[in-house]
Amino acid sequence: MGRDPLIGLVGKPSSGKSTTLNSLTDASSKVGNFPFTTIDPQRAIGYLQIPCACARYDLSAHCRPNYGSCVDGRRSVPIELLDVAGLVPGAHEGRGLGNKFLDDLRHADALIHVVDVSGCTDEEGKATRGYDPSNDIVWLRSEIVSWVLGNLMEKWGSIKRRHIAVKATAVETLQNQFSGYGSTSKIVARTLDKLALKEPLQDWSNATVETVVNAFIDEKFPTVIALNKIDHPDADKNIAKIAKTQPPETIVLCSAISEVFLRRLAKQGFVKYTEGSEFVDTRDDLLESGEDDGGGLKEMDEKLKQRIENLKDMVLYRFGSTGVVQLLTRAADLLGLVPVFPVRNVHSFGAAASGGKEAVFRDCVLVGRGSTVGDVYRKVMGDAPMAYVETAGGQRVAEDDVVVVGKNDILSFKVGRA
């Protein structure tokens, strides 16, 4: 993943995709700065919350990100989101926005599948009651499988013949076929390593090809399942059912509408709300805890007070938060994203080469799992020749050293001849 990571939001109509996107992007307390220049209408900027390197060195008071923000060592790093609209069953046969949906999908590195867990919308998004939302997880997956498998099987005979004729490796032959889905040789290699198949590609049965396609989709489109509308009374039984069939690390419970509501009230001056947290303070709360002016918050009418109380009971106290901030955290975990902090000076961590108490850790880039120092260098410095790279404290690191959180993740790049 040489370029910046891109998270795609998918979901059937009325599952709450737009609300989720709004809740992730309408960041009131965030600095609006982000590094991406070409924003098309389908793209939006969310903020991934990570522990910032400044906290390790007790430098939070001096942390001044160029992009996003950092509050007490919790850094919000801008990350691009893609609205992949038009998903309905039969998309791979061109239903709904079918082909466009699939075409957009290939740009995404990970997906957030927004599922209406209240069961109040059927598979096409029409209002109903008692629909089983676990179906949506099954058919979304099968749409993607049918799309990739269909394209592959159509040409399988000639793919095999070419494979033998040019004496290609399985990775080369599959990458040729999968590059159109935004794949890389690394992704294909990981897929095949995990499967550890014994037979050569030309002897694969149809069932083996299908296994390969499924494993490829797991690698190419790691998916967070956003069980949205947890505030709805019918949600509980559906959550319990889905939790039995899906790996726990892929599930996030959320109420996008609650997050949108809280952020709006915070902007209007009715509440103090730390985005993504369980903490909401009203004027009355603050008066009670001894703040004379109620934190400068506005008085709410009874109806609004009641809504806040309900939201606390139904969502915040039961689930710990509205869940939306965790959606991005979980997607970043599935991708194994590592935040790396390029600095000029590996002792002061400032942007300037001189020491002193200037602003620290101005930059942060997100790189994929297994990225090396050299990968990060090329991402940040482009083609400029590398002299050497240092990490925190001044030790040199090798170009092929891997970057991980806490190790080789603060880097200073020196351009020129070694």
Ligand X SMILES: Nc1nc2c(ncn2[C@@H]2O[C@H](COP(=O)(O)OP(=O)(O)OP(=O)(O)O)[C@@H](O)[C@H]2O)c(=O)[nH]1
- For ligand X, the closer of residues 242 and 376 by Cβ is 242
Burial classification of residue 356, based on how many CB atoms lie within 10 Å of its CB (0-12 exposed, 13-18 middle, 19 or more buried): exposed
- For ligand X, the closer of residues 24 and 366 by Cβ is 24
Total residues at the site for ligand X (CB under 6 A)? Answer: 16
Of 1, 8, 10, 11, which one interacts with ligand X (CB under 6 A)?
11
Interface of this chain with ligand X, residues 218 to 257, rule: CB under 6 A: 228-229, 231-232, 255-257
Q: How far is the CB of 329 from ligand X (least distance, A)?
A: 18
Beta-bridge partners for 386: 415
Contacts of 367 (CB under 8 A, 6+ apart): 1, 337, 338, 340, 375, 376, 379, 403
- For ligand X, the closer of residues 142 and 310 by Cβ is 310
CB burial string 105-129: b at 16+ within 10 A, e below = bbbbbbbbbbbbbbbbbbbebeeee
Query: Judged by CB under 6 A, does residue 15 bind ligand X?
Result: yes
Structure token pair of residue 223? 């998916």
> With contact defined as beta carbons under 8 Å apart, do 246 and 240 qualify?
no
Query: Judged by CB under 6 A, does residue 163 bind ligand X?
Result: no
Query: Judged by CB under 6 A, does residue 81 bind ligand X?
Result: no
Query: Judged by CB under 6 A, does residue 82 bind ligand X?
Result: no
Contacts of 71 (CB under 8 A, 6+ apart): 29
- For ligand X, the closer of residues 64 and 232 by Cβ is 232
- For ligand X, the closer of residues 261 and 413 by Cβ is 261
- For ligand X, the closer of residues 85 and 195 by Cβ is 85
Interface of this chain with ligand X, residues 95 to 134, rule: CB under 6 A: 125
> With contact defined as beta carbons under 8 Å apart, do 274 and 297 qualify?
no
Query: Judged by CB under 6 A, does residue 13 bind ligand X?
Result: yes
Residue where the block lists tokens 């993504």: 276
Q: How far is the CB of 9 from ligand X (least distance, A)?
A: 9
Of 5, 17, 119, 316, which one interacts with ligand X (CB under 6 A)?
17
Of 19, 238, 282, 391, which one interacts with ligand X (CB under 6 A)?
19
Q: What is the DSSP string of 195-225?
A: H---S-GGG--HHHHHHHHHHHHHHHS-EEE
- For ligand X, the closer of residues 108 and 257 by Cβ is 257
Q: Which residues bind ligand X (CB under 6 A)?
A: 11, 13-19, 125, 228-229, 231-232, 255-257
